[in-house]
Chains A and B, each alone.
Chain A
Amino acid sequence: MSDLHSQTVAYSRDTMLPPVPPPRREAGAVRWLRENLFSGPLNIILTILAIWVLWLALRDVLPWAWRGIWNAGSISECRTIRDQLYGEGTSAACWAVIRARWQQLVFGFYPASELWRPPLALVVFLLAVLPILFADLPRRLLWLTAAAPFLIVWLLWGGPIWGPVAVALGFGLGWLAWRIVARAGGPLLGAVAAILVPVLYWIFVDAPLTAALARILPIGLTPVRSSDFGGFTLSIVIGLSGITLSLPLGILLALARRSEMFIISKVAVIYIEVIRGVPLIVWLLVAQVLLNYFLPSGTNFDILLRVIIMVTLFSSAYIAEVIRGGLAALPRGQYEAADALGLGYWQAMQLIVLPQALKISIPGIVNSFIGLFKDTTLVSIISLFDPMRMSSTIRATTEWGGIYWELYIFVAAVFFVFCFAMSRYSMWLEQRLERSHR
């Protein structure tokens, strides 16, 4: 077209056009409403229909919630107050149950005098993940991150402080063994020593050492049994442990599955497929019942620990598949450039591949985490008191028998707050990374 034109009329532009702002549009709410809700007869009908459905849904629920009674000792008291206030037969929520029993819903059977410990453990956890979530913080904070698991375990379960200290010492010994043996005998021997030394230490030295130290210097917190954990404390303990442990495991599995080494990749494939192919409930039952068959009789392997391990293993299979997607999405050139610069495999993974692959995988990873967190309610099947089971227990008391919605709504609301926060964080992270990459 322009060719034809240029053949007929010789033309040469002598002044360049300056940029001009786009035409101003009619702005404001009116325009938005017209465009989105009332743009045509069909849309007008649909809008009216939607408003009608919303009204149907909310006309009873909102007044019910709004009229809710907050001060009462039992459901019958609730009903008496309601009848006095609004007349007989009016519907009104009985929020008093939350007020009376929130401690149980949040902390389970955790001893009443020790309730400060779980929130403090949560604060320690959040402080410990900060240097991981925000790379600009000083690297020295990572020492806090390394110490946090032991501190959190001690805060939650109590007992003498020497228990976690002695276990931590085992990791220190492993590191030391690695440094010494690897220098003398190569990385393979070093790895063997780094595993063998702490394991032997934990089996033979750990318990007597803890006992001796506790006798000399008895510092400790009141011990809390795992069976006393319940409500949201239980969900959060399982959920956050599962999340923090399954991410590194999932990364390793994803790398293993893409490995060029046949056996490693096949082991990863089998693991992922088997774990994903069986429902979580089945794995939880395995954790509860079967593991005891495999362990030597007399060992009392903590049920909560077993559940955490199972949830971690389960979730890591999903995380691995999500991250594998991210790894596959990276152009081959990135791997080649890393190779061509002489970076080793782990360096290339750590510096080039994973930062990009994880960024691509963020929505999927957070999706898995949210699923994992909500799935912690399944532990009610193996007689742990998650929030749902806790609300059934509350309903089974004479005071609060016959109450449903108030408890369910509370549980749902707390879960929603946590999941929504995770979702928002992931969106923020995505946007931040997106911005910094161009």
Chain B
Amino acid sequence: MTDAALASAPPVSDEVAVQITGMNKWYGQFHVLRDINLTVTRGERIVICGPSGSGKSTLIRCINRLEEHQSGHIVVDGTELTSNLRNIDKVRSEVGMVFQHFNLFPHLTVLENCTLAPMWVRKIPKREAEATAMEFLEKVRIPEQAGKYPGQLSGGQQQRVAIARSLCMRPKIMLFDEPTSALDPEMIKEVLDTMIELAREGMTMLCVTHEMGFAQAVANRVIFMDQGQIVEQNTPREFFNNPRSDRTKLFLSQILGH
């Protein structure tokens, strides 16, 4: 299945996209992320899973500084994330993010949602931004909805618009924060298909998800987190067939068991 889905995917390079070293984060007294070390190379597709509260969302939200880390280093595409606002804006314009609840802008049409950031952040002329937006809306297979408002679309369509909105910034890295968790079962597939297509084109992806089928089909690496730590990481085949830690075995038995 792995090979079939990604037959045409470009090879992973050794160029580093994201480098996290010795990173820690606390919410008040609560130690959410403990000594995280993670290197993601360009073109890599990483699935992060783990029980709820294990810190997986927090981890990817640190990568575009929606959450602030308190110690250690995060370097994204050669730029270190510190309190330097210019660096943060630079990283954010290179890193796309897709949220669990889509977070589309309800007062703008689908097309306006997609052209807003390119026009205001990248200063691209409106006509060009609209052409790009239509291109990506076609790619996620909803160009006919461009004139509608997000509230008029189904959940799956909204999430695909959210993906297109991120892609319009032509990001180098995409973060997915449980992109299918708020969707009805019938709509999960349309979103996953879009993500698989992205992976096939060689996008660097970090994806927090419970869709183990997707992990097996797409990921180069699966990371299992528990209690704010990376407990295990491996290729999908090894991860699912020979989980090493007991915590991973328990988790897998729970989510695959029925």
Contact = CB atoms under 8 A, between A and B. Distances in A.
Contacts, number: 66
Contact of B121 (A333, A336, A342): A342
Contacts of A343: 116-117, 120-121
B152 A344 contact: no
A342 B89 contact: yes
Interface string A412-438: 000000000000000000000100111
Contacts of B106: 356, 437-438
Interface string A347-390: 10001100110010000000000000000000000000000000
Nearest to B98: A340
Nearest to A435: B149
Contacts of A331: 101, 103
Interface string A246-274: 00000000000000000000000000000
Interface string B148-179: 01011000000000000110010000000000
Contacts of A437: 106-107, 149, 151
Interface residues of A, number: 21
B222 interface: no
* Highest count of chain B CB atoms <10 Å: which of A331, A343, A355, A436: A343
B103 A334 contact: yes
A340 B101 contact: no
Nearest to A338: B105
A438 B110 CA distance: 11
B152 A438 contact: yes
A65 to B, nearest CB: 47
Contact of A342 (B93, B104, B152): B93
* Highest count of chain B CB atoms <10 Å: which of A355, A356, A359, A438: A438
A83 interface: no
B170 to A, nearest CB: 12
B107 A333 contact: no
Contact of B92 (A334, A342, A355): A342
Given A342-B93, A438-B151, A337 B120 contact: no
Given A339-B92, A342-B92, A437-B106, A333 B117 contact: no
Contacts of A352: 105
A433 B116 CA distance: 19
Given A334-B103, A339-B92, A356-B107, A347 B120 contact: yes
A341 interface: yes
B123 to A, nearest CB: 11
Contacts of A344: 89
Contacts of B149: 436-438
A28 to B, nearest CB: 35
A352 B66 CA distance: 17
A339 B67 CA distance: 11
A436 B92 CA distance: 30
Contact of B99 (A337, A342, A347, A356): A337
B97 interface: yes
A352 B107 CA distance: 8
* Highest count of chain A CB atoms <10 Å: which of B93, B95, B103, B149: B103
Nearest to A355: B107
B64 interface: yes
A339 B151 contact: no
A341 B101 contact: no
B160 to A, nearest CB: 15
A423 to B, nearest CB: 23
Contacts of B97: 337, 340
A336 B92 contact: no
Given A337-B99, A438-B149, A342 B105 contact: no
B71 to A, nearest CB: 21
Nearest to B117: A341
Nearest to A438: B151
Contacts of B120: 343, 347, 351
A85 B151 CA distance: 66
Contacts of B101: 331, 333
Contacts of A342: 89, 92-93, 117, 121, 169
B105 A333 contact: no
A333 B159 CA distance: 14
A436 B104 CA distance: 15
A436 B169 CA distance: 26
A333 B89 contact: no
Contact of B64 (A333, A340, A347, A359): A340
A231 B142 CA distance: 59
A288 B151 CA distance: 52
B121 A341 contact: yes
Contacts of A359: 107
B117 A339 contact: no
Contact of A333 (B93, B103, B165, B166): B103
Q: Across chains A and B, which 7 residue pairs bring their CB atoms closest together, nearest first?
A: A342-B93, A438-B151, A337-B103, A333-B103, A341-B117, A342-B92, A340-B97
Interface of A: 331, 333-334, 336-337, 339-344, 347, 351-352, 355-356, 359, 433, 436-438
5 contacts: A336-B66, A340-B97, A342-B92, A342-B121, A356-B107
Interface of B: 64, 66, 89, 92-93, 95-97, 99, 101, 103-107, 116-117, 120-121, 149, 151-152, 165-166, 169
Given A341-B165, A351-B116, A438-B149, 19 more contacts: A333-B99, A334-B103, A334-B105, A336-B66, A337-B97, A337-B103, A339-B92, A340-B64, A340-B66, A341-B169, A342-B117, A342-B121, A342-B169, A343-B117, A343-B120, A347-B120, A351-B120, A437-B106, A437-B107
